[in-house]
Amino acid sequence: MFHFDSAIVRSPSRSVVGGLRADERQVPTYPGIVAEHRAYVVALEAAGLEVEVLPALEAFPDSVFVEDPALVFAEGAVLLRPGAPSRTGEAAQLAPTLEDRFERVVALLAGHVDGGDVLVTPDRVYIGLSLRTDALGARALASILEGFGRPATIVPTPPGVLHLKSAAALIDEETVLVTETLAAAGLFAGMRRVLAPRGEEQGANALRLNDVVLVCAAFQRTIDLLTQRGMSVVPLAVSEVGKLDAGLSCLSLRWKRG
């Protein structure tokens, strides 16, 4: 589940400071996002991944978040349809790169799905309904995933949660790190749930890569919680990225070559 050797990221554009965000008071800086992105790439490489860095797209402020317009698996890639109108066209920009690396690339043709609403576990893929992912898109994606041999379950994302993975991360093959809100929704039946500390809900957007877990450096109690569970934690500064309603998982596409 966590064995990756390849990743794709995209350099942040100067227009990134105008990206989507819920809190208009929190304006990120371009140098700050660039610095955090570089540190992120270094962390991926240190975890054993070969990272391809795609050029910035000035026409798409949120294009640094490559996981929203696409999904990648050993079986192939899926070009998605992000729910925000300003992100229409991002998948088409990723298509040539994915077609060069995967024998099978399938496009979502109906509805809308953001990759941030898709959580992959050992036995199924969870697709969260949200303001960015609708029922039509979720059903269409579930059908595509069936063709990949991956069962999918469509679940509701609680109000106030932007993306499913904003509030949940798979940290081992049987355990998800979740916020209290998401835990109360009764998702992930049959899996162990570890609650992110109150006040550190954004820390639930962690990222397991091979033998390490990337966690936002601002959430010390979350870091301590995972360390006490015997996990090797790599803290990363993502305060500027976080001002764009984003986190660690959406900054890359990760897979293991067959």
Task: Provide the pLDDT for residue 5.
Answer: 97
**pLDDT at 62 exceeding the cut of 90:** yes
For tokens 């899996």, the residue is 191
Task: Provide the pLDDT for residue 24.
Answer: 73
Task: Let me know the angle formed at the C-alpha of 40 by 38 and 46, rounded to the nearest 5 degrees.
Answer: 105
Task: Provide the pLDDT for residue 115.
Answer: 97
Residue 147 to residues 88, 142, 227: CA-CA distances in angstroms?
25, 9, 38
What domains appear along the chain, each with residue ranges and CATH number?
6-255 (3.75.10.10)
- Phi first, then psi: give them for residue 21, nearest 5 degrees: -160, 145
| Upper half-sphere CA count for residue 132 (Cβ side, 13 Å) | 27
200-216 residue pLDDT tens: 999 999 999 999 999 99
Q: Rounded distance, CA 152 to CA 131, Å?
A: 19
Closest by CA position to 36, among listed 256, 242, 253, 257: 242
Amino acid at site 141: L
Residue 128 to residues 9, 163, 176, 188: CA-CA distances in angstroms?
23, 7, 15, 11
> What's the average model confidence in pLDDT over 98-123?
97
149-175 residue pLDDT tens: 999 999 999 888 999 999 999 999 999
Binned at pLDDT 50, 70 and 90, residue 223 comes out as very high
Task: Provide the pLDDT for residue 253.
Answer: 98
Binned at pLDDT 50, 70 and 90, residue 75 comes out as very high
Task: Provide the pLDDT for residue 258.
Answer: 67
**pLDDT at 230 exceeding the cut of 90:** yes
> What's the average model confidence in pLDDT over 223-234?
97
190, burial (CB in 10 Å: exposed 0-12, middle 13-18, buried 19+)? exposed
Show which residues are catalytic.
163, 250
Better-predicted residue by pLDDT, 102 or 25:
102
119-145 residue pLDDT tens: 999 999 999 999 999 999 999 999 999
